[in-house]
Amino acid sequence: MTQTDNRRSWIASANGHPDFPLQNLPLGIFSPAGATPRGGVAIGDAIFDLKVASDAGLFSGEASEAAHAVCGDSLNAFFALGASARRALRSQLQDLLAEGSAAQARLEAMGQALLPAAATCQLHLPARVGDYTDFYVGIHHANNVGRLFRPDNPLLPNYKHVPIGYHARSSTVCVSGTPVRRPLGQTLPPGQEAPSFGPSKRLDYELELGIWIGQGNEMGEAIAIGDAQRHIAGYCLLNDWSARDVQAWEYQPLGPFLAKNFGTTVSPWVVTAEALEPFRRAQPARPEGDPQPLPYLLDEADQANGAFDIQLEVLLLTPAMREQGLAPQRLALSSTLNMYWTVAQLVAHHSVGGCKLQPGDLFGSGTLSGPEPEAFGSLLESTFGGKQPITLPGGEQRTFLQDGDEVILRARCEREGYASIGFGECRGVVLAAR
């Protein structure tokens, strides 16, 4: 049982904050006005500047080493230190920022140099992404999409034996707030025998959990399922933008290519495994008749405590809604409990053949749809392949995304007796094709 931590912070905006109370403390890379990018911690409406804190000698021991590793313009060096250093930094941060801290007067005196307002800062990609792998662990999404193309056989037999994934493009992973341009590509219009070239007409989002890799492994050496958790540095939100018409034409026989490589948006804050401990759950039982995972993918502790109860939300804000001052419209509300495979199983499978994982590698979970239409994590599903438009406030309709549309992903963890924590937002506006 996770010990309850109901401490409050002397930073007033942190207490009751929907995303960033004292119990969260996610890390990211930010730059105050006129300053170079460096590591920081989200706390309430402020960012705790780890470079300023480190230079002031606020940390000791292993936490000092961890804080120093975050002073640069990426979290890769910090990810490489592993769980012990991460926990040491978290513990000392909570002691410094908790109500009644012995250091409170000193920290308050440092003012905005130490705690600039988040609204005045720019957020950056948390780490240099060496490699990015996109998985397909949302079984409801796999069923829904499969049903569109194979009504009598929606789920291929390998799905329940092996975590399906593909090697995605790391160069176009971008931080929340970065516009995403509608891609060009080949498509095969219905009834045509030859493809045409032009802007995608079926641009979509995908609601995913992002997983940041911490310590890696040596080439040729697999990560055992029981050790996989210690190789995970943290989590974020991830929108794997998808050009469905391009995808339909190109994906056989080798899978997605141009339909996926033009942009992937991640939220800027890395929520640590420690912050998510209260929200761990047993992996949902497989339906009766489903095969048991092979031994390299099966660990009793992981099955008992390897899933997360994270609420996932997709919202849409169109140009017309923006002009009318309307709030974003929720399109879906789902959960990470819809993952057929655990994160540890993804790490174990990815490395079992000897693949070398490295600090800053990024995994996408795949679209985490729920079983009902209000929990579908993509427009491909919500509009049943574009056949049933979604009606928005003001009477607008959408089958797929239009230029100027902004997709917003949010995530929240809630449990009775515990402070709720969030991931911040993962946003992106669609720009017209060049």
| Binding annotation | 134, 136, 150, 206, 208, 240, 247, 251, 260, 264, 367
Region label for 57, one of left (φ > 0), alpha (ψ between -120 and 50) or beta (otherwise): left
Q: Binding site for substrate, residues?
A: 136, 150, 247, 251, 367
**Tokens 């799905």, residue located:** 159
Nearest residue to 132 via CA among 210, 78, 200, 60: 210
3-state secondary structure 95-157: HHHECCCCCHHHHHHHHHHCCCEHHHCEEECCCCCCCEEEECCEHHHHHHHHHHHCCCCCCCH
Strand pairing class (196-199; 232-240): unpaired
Angle subtended at Cα 323 by Cα 320 and Cα 328, rounded to the nearest 5 degrees: 70
CB-CB contact of 215 with 79 (8 Å) = yes
Query: Residue 296, Cβ neighbours under 10 Å: how many?
Result: 13
How far is it, in rounded angstroms, from Cα 262 to Cα 181?
8
3-state class (DSSP) for residue 158: helix
Pairing of strands 311-317, 406-413: antiparallel
Partnered with residue 315 across adjacent β-strands are 330, 408
Residue type at position 158:
N
| DSSP for residue 191 | T
Q: What residues are designated binding site for Mg(2+)?
A: 240, 260, 264
* Beta bridge pairs of residue 235: 211, 271
Q: Any idea what DSSP says for residue 53?
A: H
Nearest Cα residue to 368 out of 215, 251, 209, 257:
209
Non-local CB neighbours of 288 within 8 Å, separated by 6+ positions: none
Please pick, among 140, 141, 231, 350, the residue that the annotation labels catalytic.
141
3-state helix, strand, coil in the chain (%, to 5): 30, 25, 45
Residues forming beta bridges with residue 406, ordered by sequence position: 317, 429
141 is catalytic: yes
- CB contact set of 121 (below 8 Å; sequence gap of 6+): 30, 31, 32, 33, 40, 47
Helix (H, G, I), strand (E, B) or coil at 12: helix
Compute the distance between CA of residue 310 and CA of residue 422 in angstroms, rounded to an integer. Answer: 9
Q: Which two tokens stand for residue 83?
A: 């769980």
Q: Which residues are catalytic?
A: 141
